[in-house]
Amino acid sequence: MCFSAGASFGAGIVLSAIGMASIRKVKSMPQILFASIPLMFAAQQITEGLLWITLRDPSFVSIQRNLTYVFLFLAQVTWPVWIPISILLLDKGTKYKRIQKVFVFMGVVISIYLGYCLFVFPVEAQIMDYHILYVLHYPHTRSLFGSVFYIVAILAPPFFSTVKRLWMLGLIVFFSFLVSILFYQYYFVSVWCFFASITSVSVLFILREINGSKNTVPPVPAQLIV
């Protein structure tokens, strides 16, 4: 998380618990990616918690560099693919399948591009004003192309699905993005990942609602009872 190591570890523990609860609600293989979202956020928060510790101790320079890459890989490369694919698999309806596949394509494209930038150009993490600032020396062309594809791939899918209440997740992610870009522009990568992790609660709620009816056994018609 963007405020302290303790806060990051605390968030990681809570998100892990929510993630395990979400996994237990899974009733079919296509739901696993969606149910794993809280666990992915937990891994991200724990990684940043460790990063807080290593940034304060010069003797951990090599570890700090590796943790920076792990966090940025999760934030920039994993999510643009994970979100649209998980929603595509979760949605059993056919109404939005084509547009969902477009979002997956956009996510794959921007993930490949950001992955290339991450491992080719210099990146570093710094503690500044009680936040972690990620300095990315990516090409300037990334600003428009990368932003549009990244935002659409992550924000749009929940609004194009027949899954009930999934729009709630979309709204939470949208407002998380809005607050982060308006008030924490320089620390956007770190802060948005924190606010977006709140979606984990909606993931559990959505899975409970989807699978709730499957927990009850339908009554046997009276005429079939001998």
What is the structure's pLDDT at 125?
93
pLDDT at 214: 47
Q: How far apart are CA 126 and CA 88, in angstroms?
A: 36
Q: Considering Cα of 160, then 41, then 105, then 138, what sign does the dihedral take?
A: positive
Q: For the chain, first and last CA: distance in Å? A: 62
Q: Are 85 and 104 in contact, with CB atoms under 8 Å apart?
A: yes
pLDDT value of residue 141: 55
Please give the pLDDT value at position 33: 96
If you ran DSSP here, which 8-state letter would residue 207 be given? H
Kind plus residue range of the DSSP H or E element containing 23:
helix 5-24
3-state secondary structure of 57: coil
Quote the pLDDT of residue 3: 66
Question: Which residues of the chain are modeled with pLDDT < 50?
Answer: 1, 213-226
In terms of DSSP bridges, do strands 123-128 and 131-136 run parallel, antiparallel, or are they unpaired? antiparallel
Which pLDDT belongs to residue 191? 73
Helix segments in 25-155, DSSP class H: 32-35, 37-55, 61-72, 79-90, 97-120, 142-155
Model confidence, pTM: 0.85
CA distance 167 to 185: 25
Tokens of 70: 């792990």
pLDDT at 220: 44
Determine the Cα–Cα distance for residues 32 and 11; give it in Å rounded to an integer: 22
Give the DSSP H/E element, type plus range, for residue 179.
helix 166-183
